[in-house]
Amino acid sequence: SEERSLNFLEQIVEEDIAKGINSGRVLTRFPPEPNGYLHIGHAKSICLNFGLAQKYGGQTNLRFDDTNPVTEDTEYVDSIKEDIQWLGFQWAKELYASDYFEQLYQYAVELIKKGFAYVDDSSAAEIAALKGTPTEPGKDSPYRNRSVEENLQLFADMRAGKYPDAAKTLRAKIDMASPNMHMRDPIMYRIKHAHHHRTGDAWSIYPMYDFAHGQSDSIENITHSICTLEFIPHRPLYDWFIQQLDIFPSHQYEFARLNLSYTVMSKRKLLQLVNEGIVRGWDDPRMPTIAAFRRRGYTPSSIRTFAERVGIQKRDNIIELGLLEFCIREELNKTAPRVMAVLDPIKLVITSYPEGQTEELQAENNPEDAAAGHRNVTFSNTLWIEREDFMENPPKKFFRLGVGLKVRLKYAYIVECTGFDKDENGNVTTVYATHIPESKSGAEGSAMSVKGTIHWLSAAHAKTAEVRLYDRLFTVENPAGAEGDFKDLINPNSLEIIEKAYIEPFLADAKPGERFQFLRKGYFVADVESTPGKPVFNRTVTLKDTWAK
Ligand code: ATP
Ligand code: MG
Ligand code: MG
């Protein structure tokens, strides 16, 4: 990897190790809530948590933060595990915050006994009304001074399911005048008669994030608990619970969440796109999910490289989608075999080449990789070429085909255009040319040169494929920050399906996940929907940054 200076988290870890804190042990965790598929922001967090631990000889736990029964699902648990492993990381332990429900309950009882928690009968609105504002102190709840005995009984009754949803809460007794709103007697438990994906109907009370997260970190002896900036104001509460309970002192550190241009990252919004059929599923290649990037042809290493290049910031910003594209393009340039595919075909007939004759020409698989070798491509007198490679009235400097113009057919001959046919609608159907036999690539005389080279396929030999071209999902850089409904900003042209493109014959058997460069057209991957004889290709990325201003 590239040389760079230490980021602030690495500095913290190195200082802790130097001071002998936790005997130099480093244990991080990645704590997804299983309420959706992981997105590229999560990938950033995964690379950070696992990468930091790896660098300092430590480990990382995968902890499902499954304290909210309503939105969670085992489908998401499975996809999360698959995505982390695909990215190239392996957790030390697979854990569930829900496995700590009993321990968390006991912690809450302990806080009640110490006089640091009470049961409040106030409604959410009443609690909000007494909360105060950032500049004005709040007021004590009328239930704040209940006795320990009464609180213990009421809390036990809450657990036993005696009360309906939202009838009572358990609150930490801290300071209603704290300048930090999170310290104004935050709610620790709420009543929710809901089925949980792991604990079933065992619980009718569920801990709030602030009471569950830090205590879960502590139970696992996490040394460095890394989260995003919005949790900075939660940190005093994180520390307060640990202190009052006198349990293992995990510490929270914050970095800026990753935002990517032209997409949204909130799982709630991504779920809407899926549920409303705006995309074809969580792994629709236009989505910013890890599953979508995988399907689109991104490699794990390109995403890790991206995460590394983005770095660790302490201030929120939006990263250019172009950086992610740069990372995959750079990698595929070295690794992807070059092949020919014609996406918008018209015929080219070489009138000087005998009809019915064929010859096998040598094609280089990858000029960036000498070990990639060669393959044969079949040449004949009737070829498919791209419609855009011919112009009826070519301007100066059009170095492709037009009557009287010459071009090289890749791996083959230089041809000169002699004419063309049009259909009744005025569309060009067939272009005619003659070839220069001594210009054959690799042969004597092949030093002859022309300015342009185009790709082609022998019409009698080419196979067909469906090709899917993707563009950014939104029309604006920051759809999440725009006014109104973010769905109004969807790019209507984010998916173009070419039902019948032509490909080299061997590509008809490409296996899902196989990657290629279609010469001049971009990098493509065989889609999961590909079947033998009915291939489907996704464009991973174009060859050049077509969005550059
Ligand atoms: P969302 O708002 O999309 O639901 P979340 O933060 O609620 O995101 P979690 O499943 O709780 O999603 O996230 C798991 C971990 O990934 C957390 O530690 C969280 O901080 C981190 N994470 C989530 N989104 C990003 C992001 N955009 N950039 C960096 N880290 C992120
Ligand atoms: Mg979360
Ligand atoms: Mg969330």
* Ligand 1 pocket residue status of 227, Cβ below 6 Å: yes
Among 29, 30, 45, which is best to mutate for testing ligand 1, by the most ligand atoms less than 8 A from CB?
45
CA dihedral 431, 434, 440, 446 (to 10 degrees): -110
Q: Which residues are catalytic?
A: 33, 257, 267
Q: Global pTM?
A: 0.94
Say what the pLDDT of residue 3 is: 74
- CATH 2.70.98.40 for the 8-255 domain, yes or no: no
CATH 3.40.1350.10 is right for the domain spanning 267-337+465-541: no
Q: What is the pLDDT of residue 549?
A: 36
Q: From the CB of 271, is ligand 1 less than 6 Å away?
A: no
Cβ of 256 below 6 Å from ligand 1: no
Greater pLDDT, 356 or 73: 356
Left (φ > 0), alpha (ψ -120 to 50) or beta: where does 32 sit? beta
421, β-bridge pairs: 430
Q: What percentage of the chain exceeds 70 in pLDDT?
A: 98
44 in ligand 1 pocket by Cβ < 6 Å? yes
Between 442 and 268, the higher pLDDT residue: 268
Q: What band does 69 get if pLDDT is binned at 50, 70 and 90?
A: confident
> With a 6 A CB cut-off, is 98 part of the ligand 1 pocket?
no
Q: Which of 235, 200, 268, 198 is nearest to 39 (CA)?
A: 268
Complex prediction ipTM = 0.96
Q: Output the pLDDT for position 445.
A: 64
Q: 374 among the known binding-site residues?
A: no
CB under 5 Å of ion ligand 2: residues = 33
Half-sphere exposure of 125 (CA within 13 A, CB side): 0
d(CA 529, CA 129) in angstroms, rounded, equals 55
Whether 341-455 and 8-255 are alike in CATH topology: the answer is: no
Torsion of CA 405, 409, 412, 417, to 10 degrees: -30
Does residue 320 register a pLDDT over 80? yes
Which ligand neighbours the alpha carbon of 228 most closely?
1
Is the pLDDT confidence value at 153 over 90? yes
For a pocket test of ligand 1, which of 37, 62, 228, 289 has the largest count of ligand atoms closer than 8 A to its C-beta?
228
Mean pLDDT of 392-408: 96
Q: Give tens-digit pLDDT for 235-251.
A: 999 999 999 999 999 99
Question: For tokens 């910013």, what's the residue?
Answer: 288
Ligand 1: distance of its center to the CA of 225 in Å? 13
Predicted local confidence at residue 56, as pLDDT: 98
Residue 548: what pLDDT?
44
Residues linked to residue 525 through DSSP beta bridges, in sequence order = 515, 538
CA-wise closest residue to 345 among 465, 243, 246, 441:
465
Instruction: Tell which residue, 80, 74, 44, 47, has the closest CA to residue 62.
Output: 80
For the record, the structure tokens of 522 come out as 């971009």
- Mean residue pLDDT of the chain comes to 96
| Residues written for the chain | 549
Over residues 29-53, the pLDDT tens digits come to 999 999 999 999 999 999 999 999 9
Q: What is the pLDDT of residue 546?
A: 58
Averaged over 379-407, what is the pLDDT? 97
Cα 147 to ligand 3 centroid, rounded to whole Å: 36
User: What confidence tens digit (pLDDT) does each residue in 450-495 have?
Assistant: 999 999 999 999 999 999 999 999 999 999 988 899 999 999 999 9
Tell me the C-alpha to C-alpha distance, in Å, between residue 431 and each of 98, 156, 354, 402, 421: 68, 84, 16, 9, 6
Residue nearest to atom 9 of ligand 1 (CA): 32
**7 alpha carbon to ligand 1 midpoint, in Å?**
20
The predicted structure's pLDDT at residue 444: 65
CATH architecture of 341-455: Beta Barrel (2.40)
User: In angstroms, how far is CA 453 from the centroid of its own chain?
Assistant: 36
Domain ranges for the chain, please list them.
Answer: 8-255, 267-337+465-541, 341-455
